[in-house]
Structure 1
Amino acid sequence: MKKKNILFAILALIILLTNYSVEAESVYVHRNSKKHLVYNKNGVKQEAFYDYGTLVPFDDARIYSYCKGSKTNYVSIYYSDSGLSTFKRKKMTTNDDDAAYVNYTSGYDYLDADSYAYNEGDITQDLNVIK
């Protein structure tokens, strides 16, 4: 009888943990398109993506920005891991068909809420948090 109770307790724990993972949410900041990718009328490709964080363990937050096809392509990310007060900036500028791309994958589940991604070509984008 004790063995059945222990097995039942283990099963209940597994179900609770599974439900926690399934119901986890992510917060994204991105352009309003399926692949977060925008082509303007001049063929400029721009993409910026910001995964603020997730409740799923070991699913690290990520932020990146990409631009290609403008006379001048500028990308920038400004980020800090959650709980740290030190922000870092990565940026890159290129010309014409040379892609500008910056990326950061955190070792943490969350980035600080003030992190952002930005890129600029023929169009400019500044991003807002979408839940």
Structure 2
Amino acid sequence: MFVSPENEEITVAGNSPALHLGFNNFPMDNFGVQKAELKAIAKQPSIPEFNVPYFQNDINRTKDWLGATLKNLETLAEQSASGSHKMDGVIVLSVKSKSKLAMSVIKDGGVIVGVEGERN
């Protein structure tokens, strides 16, 4: 979920799940060719159109549960970032401080793969 990939603005959007997983935007003008005379002759990359089904479907895939915001573990990136061995479970995007879950071991960024001995 980039701000405007069609205009080569690839800063992660404020509502992107990547931010909930801990990604932080960084300045996009402090790398690559910096000198004006070199920029004039540098090859410009062609940025392909994003064709990832995850981004094309309904973006609001979150559910609230006992004061936590959850979403299904759906992509290899989420699986890798969460350290999960399988593509199952839900990612805990946030836990409200005064919720029933606030005093539990469930924390932001965690993955729930089962409840009360039953796996997802």
- TM class by shorter chain equals under 0.3
Q: Which structure would you say has the larger RCO, counting Cα contacts within 8 Å and 6 or more residues apart?
A: 1
TM-score by length of 1: 0.26
TM-score by length of 2: 0.27
Return the structure number with greater strand share: 1
